[in-house]
Structure 1
Amino acid sequence: MNRQLIRALRPFETLFPIMMESDSRLLQSMGSKMNVWVPRTNVSETDSSVKISSSLPGLKKEDIKLELKDDNRTLRIYGEHKEEVRGDKEEVHMYEMHFGSFERLIRLPKNIDADSIKAKVEDGVLRVEVPKVNKTTTPKSISIE
């Protein structure tokens, strides 16, 4: 089933190459583990920062971890959504909520300020702001002797 999902997502690789590459590797690494899910995530960029919003309903900040990898070029969002405990005699009629471990890998530009990243969880949405380092420089004149 994982191969079918990856094949179905292939046409979108040209639109979202970085995200698709990360998710494809994650799906391939799952093997037969079906308790892994990929949260829906939005990534946008301005001149001054990269903004990431990830839908993580029902999770507390203690359930979510952030990590910079690959020389600060990749933001890893991961954690676990624990399954609700049900009573012994509870009959389940529908079970659609995602439980289990999750991971998203977001490729970042080279010019980020790793020390100033801000993250917060509010109303089931993780919001991460990754500031960029201002690379504006004035031209340097060189004298000829």
Structure 2
Amino acid sequence: MSLVKRKNDPWFPSIFDDFFTPNLFGEVINRKEVGVSVPAVNIKETSENFHVELAVPGKKKEDFNIEVENDMLTISSEDKKEHEEKDKEGRYTRREFSYSSFKRAFTLPDNVNAGAIDAKYEDGVLKINLPKKDVSVSGPKRSIEIS
């Protein structure tokens, strides 16, 4: 016995469609069908750093915006493409345009040195290096008064 994928037929709706819909909002929130894409991320911790890698092929380093604010690392990208073909009279024979964007945010651990974060983009992978602070160095001793 094998599994058979069932697709809803828009021309012949079934009274059973509601029972077999994978979620309350139907296929609308299926990201693959509506073109929503969030890049996969790998986070690796070593003794000295955190390494964040995002799989985002087909972009340039200028397409990314990386910000750190209030212990939040935010990585975003926005891409607009337009292609036109016109005939001799200037009428469109074909016009295609697309828009894509993503935004990922990560809360930084307390031991990350936010001032020393660096990034590079190569071979379709955005690599962000988050150096750790030296937490063994403590601040000056102070007394706390009890009120």
Q: Is TM-score (shorter-chain normalized) higher than 0.5?
A: yes
Task: Tell me if structure 1 keeps the 8 A contact 2:63–2:78.
Answer: yes
Q: Could you say if the C-alpha distance between residues 79 and 132 of structure 1 is closer, same or farther in structure 2, counting changes exceeding 3 Å? A: same
Structure 2 residue matching 1:115: 3-state secondary structure: helix
Q: Could you say if the C-alpha distance between residues 2 and 114 of structure 1 is closer, same or farther in structure 2, counting changes exceeding 3 Å? A: farther
Q: Unmatched 5+ residue regions in structure 1?
A: 9-26, 28-33, 93-97, 139-145
- Counterpart in the other structure of 1:106: 106
Letter in 1 for 2:58: G
**Structure possessing the higher relative contact order (Cα contacts under 8 Å, 6 or more residues apart):** 1
Task: Tell me if structure 1 keeps the 8 A contact 2:83–2:95.
Answer: no
Task: Tell me if structure 2 keeps the 8 A contact 1:80–1:99.
Answer: yes
**Which structure has the greater CA radius of gyration?**
2
Q: Where is the helix percentage greater, Structure 1 or Structure 2?
A: 1
Q: Could you say if the C-alpha distance between residues 3 and 114 of structure 1 is closer, same or farther in structure 2, counting changes exceeding 3 Å? A: farther
After the TM superposition, which segments of 4 or more aligned residues of structure 1 sit over 4 Å from their partners?
1-5
Task: Tell me if structure 2 keeps the 8 A contact 1:49–1:130.
Answer: yes
Which of 76, 79, 85 is matched with 2:74 structurally?
A: 76
Letter in 1 for 2:110: K
* 1:58 lines up with 2:58 in the alignment: yes
- Counterpart in the other structure of 1:14: none
Deviations 1:9-28 (A, max 9, x none): xxxxxxxxxxxxxxxxxx9x
Counterparts of 1:2 and 1:38, CA distance in 2: 22
Task: Tell me if structure 2 keeps the 8 A contact 1:77–1:104.
Answer: yes
Note the aligned Cα RMSD (angstroms): 3.4
Task: Tell me if structure 2 keeps the 8 A contact 1:37–1:103.
Answer: no
Q: Unmatched 5+ residue regions in structure 2?
A: 1-22, 86-91, 139-147
Aligned length: 107
Q: Could you say if the C-alpha distance between residues 79 and 104 of structure 1 is closer, same or farther in structure 2, counting changes exceeding 3 Å? A: same
